[in-house]
Amino acid sequence: MRRIVTDDRANEARGLPYLDPKRILTESGALRTAVTEWPLRFGRKLSENERKRLAEEIVQAAAFCWGMGELWKRHVEFSPKAAGSHDCVLALGQSAGGDPPGFLLLQLKGLPPQSLNPEVTLQSLINDLDGKYHDPDELYLGIAVNRSGEIDFSVLKVPEALRSQFLELWIFGRTNEDRAKWFFRGDLLAEPLTSLHSIPDILPFE
């Protein structure tokens, strides 16, 4: 894996506050506190719809960091500060193999439940990405699947042009059998593999 290579971006990332994904997903009240306090750190006041959108983004980022942290064998935290082409900055601790700490940029997309938008498919969502981002050296893309049903990855086609827009592309979501079991499929821009990770049930935002 590669990390942020631009010195200016790395310096900015060092100054950001970060959230611990395991705390967000397992501690009572942690998600509510993050959604309430996070905008205040940057002098923003959110509408109710913006709060719900931020809550969803924080949950997705936390799940991504938890699962990918296990794949990368290092602790990963995140700062949900959207800027430019990315939604979050990820802070990576030192890996089990001794790789040094670093930072990544993450853009999140979500496949909505079929009841909300049946016209959108995983394939159409991927197709629509073409031409929207151009950061192949530093930007990771994570697509959260928020609907039930099996995904036939063998028929999924990734436009060749996305290789010049993203560093890596991952698809992740809960399995149908167990809410606490998540699949991660990637890197779809290289030779993808699927891995399963146990992530405790995400706390509801109430």
Closest CA to 4 of 94, 113, 89: 89
Write out the chain's pLDDT in tens, 206 residues: 655 656 778 888 888 899 999 999 999 899 999 999 887 877 778 888 888 889 999 999 999 999 999 999 999 999 987 666 788 999 999 887 888 888 999 999 999 888 888 889 999 999 999 888 877 778 999 999 988 888 899 999 999 989 888 999 999 999 988 889 999 999 999 999 999 999 987 776 54
Instruction: State residue 205's pLDDT score.
Output: 56
> Per the omega criterion (within 30 degrees of 0), is the bond before 187 cis?
yes
Q: What is the DSSP string of 108-169?
A: EEEE--TTT-TT--HHHHHHTTTTT---TTTEEEEEEE-S-S---GGG----GGGGGT-SEE
| Nearest residue to 151 (alpha-carbon basis) of 199, 106, 189, 192 | 192
Length of the chain, in residues: 206
What are the residue boundaries of the structural domains of the chain, listed by start? Answer: 7-198
Neighbours of 69 (CB within 10 A): 20
Q: What pLDDT, on the 0 to 100 scale, is given for residue 100?
A: 84
pLDDT at position 83: 67
